[in-house]
């Protein structure tokens, strides 16, 4: 269950993508332990090369303002990925920061796309989203 006061969550996975831990402060993910993070969160496949190339001591990989949803959680989030090496074990921490408070107006307003086309034009969608 989401803690309404929590604005961040950490999910730790190994070098093979297996989920090891979750603090479950924003959404329930501890029931995914042992499962592959890329399969459970397909959005992360876009960032897989950067996550795999993280090296110990390098800067964390930061991904800002991602529209993210999982189960009953929906928000605009920042992601930070950090690689850790301890005692020959490699883990990666995925820190999720909930930025709902900054984007709540945008998230709560429905986007009315035209019904007479099968696919909306990208520029029309962008203009409506940004209220131009």
Residue 48 sits in a domain whose CATH number is 3.30.450.20
Query: Is the separation of the CB atoms in 91 and 14 below 8 Å?
Result: yes
Q: Per mean pLDDT, which range of 22-26, 108-112, 119-123 is the poorest?
A: 119-123
Say whether 100 sits in a helix, a strand or coil: helix
123: pLDDT strictly greater than 70 = no
Is residue 43's pLDDT more than 80? yes
Other C-beta atoms lying within 10 Å of the C-beta of residue 94 = 22
pLDDT, mean of residues 103-126: 54
Tokens of 20: 């090891």
Average pLDDT, the chain: 81
Residue 89: which domain range?
8-104
Average pLDDT of span 106-124: 54
pTM of the shown model:
0.72
Is 61 inside a domain boundary? yes
Sheet holding 61-70, edge to edge: 19-22, 8-14, 89-98, 73-86, 61-70
Neighbour tally for 113: CB within 10 Å: 12
The answer to whether residue 81 scores a pLDDT higher than 60 is yes
Q: Is residue 14 part of a domain?
A: yes
12 is a domain residue: yes
Report d(CA 72, CA 4) in Å as an integer. Answer: 13
- Residue 1 included in any domain: no
φ, ψ dihedrals at 43, nearest 5°: -55, -30
Q: For residue 72, tell me if it sits in a domain.
A: yes
Would you say residue 128 lies in a domain?
no
Number of domains in the chain: 1
> Would you say residue 89 lies in a domain?
yes
Contact indicator for 17, 44 with CB cutoff of 8 Å: no
Contact present, 30 and 49 (Cβ < 8 Å): no
Any domain includes 53:
yes
């Amino acid at each position: 269950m989401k803690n309404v006061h929590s604005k961040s969550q950490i999910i730790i996975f190994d070098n093979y993508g297996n989920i090891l831990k979750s603090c479950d402060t924003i959404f329930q993910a501890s029931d995914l332990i042992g499962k592959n993070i890329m399969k459970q969160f397909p959005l992360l496949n876009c960032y897989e090369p950067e996550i795999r190339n993280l090296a110990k001591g390098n800067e964390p990989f930061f991904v800002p303002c991602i529209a993210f949803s999982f189960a009953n959680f929906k928000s605009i989030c920042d992601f930070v990925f950090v690689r850790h090496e301890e005692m020959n074990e490699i883990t990666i921490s995925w820190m999720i920061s909930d930025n709902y408070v900054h984007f709540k107006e945008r998230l709560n307003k429905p986007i009315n796309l035209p019904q007479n086309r099968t696919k909306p034009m990208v520029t029309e969608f962008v203009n409506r989203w940004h209220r131009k």
